[in-house]
Chain A
Amino acid sequence: MAPLLKVETLSIAFRTRKGEVQALHEVSFEVAPGEVVGVVGESGSGKSVSAYTVIGLLDQAGRVTHGGVEYDGKPVKGRERELRGREISMIFQNPRAALNPIMTVGQQIGDVLKRHGLAGRTDAKAKAIDLLRQVKINDPEERYAAYPYELSGGMCQRVMIALALACSPRLLIADEPTTGLDVTTQKATMDLVRELTRERGMSVVLITHDLGMAAAYCDRIVVMEKGHVVERAPVAQLFTNPQHPYTRKLIAASPGPRSELADLTGGLPEAPPSIAPPKKRAPGPERLLEVVDLVKEFPRRGGGLFAKKPAPFRAVDGIGFQMMRGESLGLVGESGCGKSTTSSIIARLQDATSGSVVFDGQDIVQHPSARFARMPERGRIQMVFQDAHDSLDPRWSAAEAIAQPLRRISGMRDGGEIARKVAELAEMAGLPANLLTRYPHQLSGGQKARVGIARAIATDPLLLILDEPTSALDVSVQAVVLQLLDRLRRELGMSYIFVSHDLNVVRLLCERVIVMNRGRIVETGTAEQVLHAPQDAYTQKLVSAIPHFEPEKLRAS
């Protein structure tokens, strides 16, 4: 069958201040009618750039230097405008930002229908509502008049799908369509895309960094690295018999339900630096942390001037658990389940409404968070934040960022001593000493994560709270950071609370897992138990939604 889309030896260069940079090197791949092709790769691999070129949305600084794109046997160049929406459409990541904030979603769908002559003034509304119904939005008549900010991320992505399918195009390009969505929403969205595109016999290009997702939804996969296509293969073949070393590395680094921490880097963990053995800690109670009936309420908006105040929203609704010294505990759940609120109360960045948190034999919720910041206990509980970039001050070098807790919390004054300690911490976190003078924008994602970790362990904490520390990192970087965290915990005798939405990642680092939903704990157990034999209905749904590839299963099929 003749391919619907043919990308042929496509090369693209970007003008930058440092001259032209080659972003794509002779990239070629084909998409047959009705086929789902996954384009996988880590950030900077050029997977999005190739998609934007297909639809003619390449940034002004970008220039095609070689090759081109053919759609339906004819070059796309010069025809992009007529093809967009009508023949080729696209869905994006971050769906809420991808919709016009000041227009109702119905109007936006109507706009696309009217542009392509599929609806007039009179029937645009009815057709838009029909499309909303097709993407399975409840109460489509009501949602027609909703603004994007009134809808959840998953709903917005459904609206995006409705927009993209409005004119029954033959090719859909999905650029990381579920990044940032919860796993269950992610599964629902992708299932919907699959169902709708199959019904219409459409071809799909799925751009993703998530191998599990690519395995679950694609027929064929194209692997890209630094602007080159390194491998092209049908799904089963790619995962059972990867040819290129990069593909192998990528597959190894993606945590699956059975992978071990050491497997992630293909059995080659980075050389551990020589760490001075930790000082003997004063013995304390065996039970490091006890959370009792913790409640956090937020006032709800609205009610007006004279109306009754609405009941406050309970983000954390009577949570209780215990943690032993040296234990590592995973806190898992979807967005809005209260896991981040719980962790930031334990870290004493937020005050609780009621309940108690006994840390190392002392109830720490009594002290308001503002006062706790100046107490010596502050150094005992530290955090590693989700966004390694945003949690570093852009005007501070790596060394200054790491030195900050030493000055503020540990009260060190002597410059030489601080410098020695910073160097030691950087070495422990695997950050090369020559990078210490750099500023955050000069560091890579993984290096920034290491700065954040070095800063968190600077005060020699007993408990480290890790809030999705690897969710913004590429899988290969995530693999080494996870190994680093695991090693640090064993060598420094810390306890971890690992907050994440990704059960596969949590399992690698934690012995015990707590699953939260709507502010409550729905299940606790060992990581293996929760992942392989979940008891609670919600946990079962959560586990089954995780996209993953299991070479054994693929081999069997």
Chain B
Amino acid sequence: MEKLSRIGGRILQAIPPVFGVIVITFLLTRALPGDPAVFFAGLMADDDTIAQVRAELGLDHPLPVQFLFYIRDLVQGDLGNSLSTGRPVLEELATRLPASLELTFAGLLFAMAVAIPLGVLAATRPGSWIDHLCRVLVTAGVSLPTFFTGLFLIYIFYYILGWAPSPLGRLDFLYLSPPQVTGFYTIDALLAGDWEVFWAALRQMVLPAVTLGLFALAPIARMTRAAMLSALSGDYVRTARANGLRSGRVLWVYAFRNAALPVLTTLGMVFSFLLGANVLVEKVFSWPGIGSYAIGALVASDYAAVQGFVLCMALLFVVVNLFIDVILTLIDPRVGLES
């Protein structure tokens, strides 16, 4: 009960940041260089047409009024229409966001699957070869830019070895995309029972996901190693050992669960980094995600699309952190008591 109210309180705390994000995205897009009305009216337009377009877009009102309009539209789920394609921004985001999310999650999963065991092993055997391997991977992970790793992996696995499919989008053109349920091709294919499409989608995803994962691996492995080292030298681990508990139980239940707390916090941060790193990886792999969409919109001064993108990212950020905080609350009985 107490836990539920604490979680409820944490959810309430997420509201002010969301509002702040709405204000900032609104102001930021208004501060973008270039006049959307001029852009829209076209090269041949005279002053009257531009004014007319401006009025149509609602840009002739003072800023506070524009903001109120913006809020009203948001409440109705209307993010405006993209200026360059003319389609509703919400719709475009809805088709592209799952592509990015699927890739990000796959990358994060890969990174966790490698980094957490590596960090744990490195911490239990400090100074051993596995500890050095961990250090090398961490250094490589942070120092290699994602577009480089991406191109490098394509060069090796597609161009030289020919193991990977062509790095062009989410699915080879031979296949039809599965019926949309979640928007994640792999999951949708599984839901439809179509194994062939599932494998095809997975194959397409391996290289970009590994590229993202290599980047995300470094902070996770480092944090796991550090947290495990401090947990293993903790007095409670010594007690567990002194009481004769099995080393597996000491390692996973006593040390790792305590070490998981800082690791989870790091995961939240890494996820946000990945959303940013996505932009480059999507470009390299022609991934039809939200990142490449945002770049296009930014270049075209398409303020409704940019606004929608930033808002969407910020909301994701808030949701992910909220999610992690809730998990932390569930694991750690002390959360919220220290402050």
Contact = CB atoms under 8 A, between A and B. Distances in A.
B9 A305 contact: yes
Contact of B236 (A97, A115, A301): A97
A86 B246 CA distance: 13
A293 B243 CA distance: 51
A57 B242 contact: yes
Contacts of A94: 235
Most buried by A among B239, B331, B333: B239
Contacts of B257: 102
B179 interface: no
B241 interface: yes
B242 A99 contact: no
Given A57-B238, A97-B236, A112 B243 contact: yes
B44 interface: no
Contact of B239 (A99, A167, A301, A305): A99
A90 interface: yes
B332 interface: yes
Contact of A101 (B238, B243, B245, B258): B258
A97 B234 contact: yes
Contacts of B254: 100, 103
Contact of A90 (B9, B242, B245): B242
Given A111-B249, A149-B334, A100 B236 contact: yes
Interface in A110-131: 111-112, 115-116
B5 interface: yes
Interface string B222-247: 00000000000011101111111110
Contacts of A84: 241-244
B337 interface: yes
Contact of B245 (A115, A147, A160): A115
Contacts of B5: 304
Nearest to B5: A304
B249 A98 contact: no
A479 interface: no
A163 B234 CA distance: 17
B242 A85 contact: yes
Given A81-B244, A89-B242, A90-B242, A149 B236 contact: no
A57 B244 contact: no
Nearest to A305: B9
A166 B245 CA distance: 13
Most buried by B among A57, A97, A101, A305: A101
Contacts of A86: 244
B125 to A, nearest CB: 10
Nearest to A88: B242
Contacts of A111: 240, 243, 245, 249, 253
Contacts of B337: 149, 301
Contacts of B9: 305
Interface residues of B, number: 25
B334 A101 contact: yes
A56 B252 CA distance: 21
Contacts of B242: 55, 57, 84-85, 89-90, 92, 164
B258 A102 contact: yes
Given A111-B249, A149-B334, A98 B238 contact: yes
Interface in A54-107: 55, 57, 81-86, 89-90, 92, 94, 97-103
A106 to B, nearest CB: 13
Given A57-B242, A101-B236, A115 B333 contact: no
B241 A57 contact: yes
A64 B234 CA distance: 23
A84 to B, nearest CB: 4
Contacts of B332: 101-102
Given A147-B333, A147-B334, A99 B236 contact: yes
Nearest to A102: B332
Contact of B249 (A92, A115, A149, A301): A115
B334 A115 contact: no
A529 B245 CA distance: 51
A400 B164 CA distance: 65
Interface in A270-328: 301, 304-305
Given A102-B332, A304-B5, A112 B235 contact: no
Contacts of A83: 244
A55 B241 CA distance: 9
A100 B254 CA distance: 7
A94 to B, nearest CB: 6
Contacts of B249: 111, 115
Contact of A112 (B244, B253, B258, B334): B244
Interface string B252-264: 0110011001000
Contact of A98 (B236, B245, B261): B236
Contacts of A102: 257-258, 261, 331-334
A487 to B, nearest CB: 39
Q: Report the 4 A-B pairs with minimum CB-CB distance, sorted nearest first.
A: A85-B244, A84-B244, A85-B243, A98-B235
26 contacts: A55-B242, A83-B244, A84-B241, A84-B243, A85-B243, A86-B244, A90-B239, A90-B242, A97-B236, A98-B236, A98-B238, A100-B239, A100-B258, A101-B258, A101-B333, A102-B257, A102-B332, A103-B254, A111-B243, A111-B245, A112-B244, A115-B245, A116-B244, A163-B239, A167-B244, A305-B9
Given A111-B253, A112-B243, 12 more contacts: A57-B242, A82-B244, A83-B244, A85-B243, A90-B239, A92-B239, A101-B236, A101-B334, A111-B245, A115-B244, A116-B244, A160-B239
Interface of B: 5, 9, 234-236, 238-246, 249, 253-254, 257-258, 261, 331-334, 337
